[in-house]
Each structure stands twice: as C-alpha cells, then as structure tokens.
Amino acid sequence: MPGLYNKNEFKDNCGFGLIAHKYGESSHAILTKSIDALVSMTHRGGIGSDGKTGDGCGLLINIDHSFFSNQVFKEQKIELPENFAIAQVFFKDNIEKI
C-alpha cells in the first residue's frame, strides 16, 4: 500500500487549513476560529494575485439539512432536493454590464 506522500505526485499549491472539533461537535467558536485563520492567510484569505480581488477561498462546513430545507421552504417556498449545495457569490455593483 502506498504511503500518504509520493514526491512524484506532488503539486505546488498554497495548501489548506483545517480546524475541527476533536469530537465532531458543532460550535460558533469553531466557525469564528476558521474565519480568523482564513483572514490571517493573506493569499488564501481573500486577496488574489492582483491585490484587489478574492481568489476563491472559503469555508467548508456541515449544515443541518432538515433545518436549512425547512427555512428555505418557509422563506422562499422552494423545496430543496436531497442533495444540494450552498454558495455565496459576489457580483460587481452593476450586474447588467456582466
């Protein structure tokens, strides 16, 4: 069985950070620490190579699917399928020109 690291498969990248609760418990403190860690990593923390825009960094978190689905239906009258994704997208001020 191959090991976790194979120098022939190594690709250059910025890496990633991982912050999690040892026993898998959800907490606002974990989210806050994750945001602080993301911001402290200048390149991965939202500043792209041009120094003006973000570079696609983000947080991957678990959500309570039942709670979220119920809220979306309650607020937007949209029934979500079993599998769905959530994203936050930022647009330029004047979206008509995009």
Q: Are 26 and 62 in contact (CB under 8 A)?
A: yes
Is 18 contained in some domain? no
Is 32 contained in some domain? yes
> What pLDDT score was predicted for residue 66?
92
Comparing 21 with 74, the larger pLDDT belongs to: 74
For residue 27, give the nearest of 61, 60, 75, 58 by alpha carbon: 61
Is 8 contained in some domain? no
Is 36 contained in some domain? yes
> What pLDDT score was predicted for residue 1?
47
Res. 23: pLDDT tops 50: yes
Is 14 a residue of the active site? yes
What is the pLDDT averaged over residues 16-42? 82
Residues 66 and 80: their CA atoms lie apart, in Å, by 10
The residue range of the domain holding 44 is: 23-98
What is the pLDDT averaged over residues 2-22? 70
Per DSSP, 51 falls in state: S
Comparing 81 with 19, the larger pLDDT belongs to: 81
Q: What is the number of structural domains in the chain?
A: 1
Is 6 contained in some domain? no
User: What pLDDT, in 10s, does the model give residues 43-83?
Assistant: 554 556 666 665 566 777 888 889 999 999 999 999 999 98
User: What pLDDT, in 10s, does the model give residues 80-98?
Assistant: 999 888 887 766 665 565 5
Is 10 contained in some domain? no
Question: In the structure, how many helices (H) and strands (E) does the chain have?
Answer: 2, 0
Residues 44 and 27: their CA atoms lie apart, in Å, by 23
Secondary structure class of 35 (helix, strand, coil): helix
From 14, 86, 87, 95, active-site residue: 14
Instruction: Say how many Å lie between the first and final Cα of the chain, rounded.
Output: 50
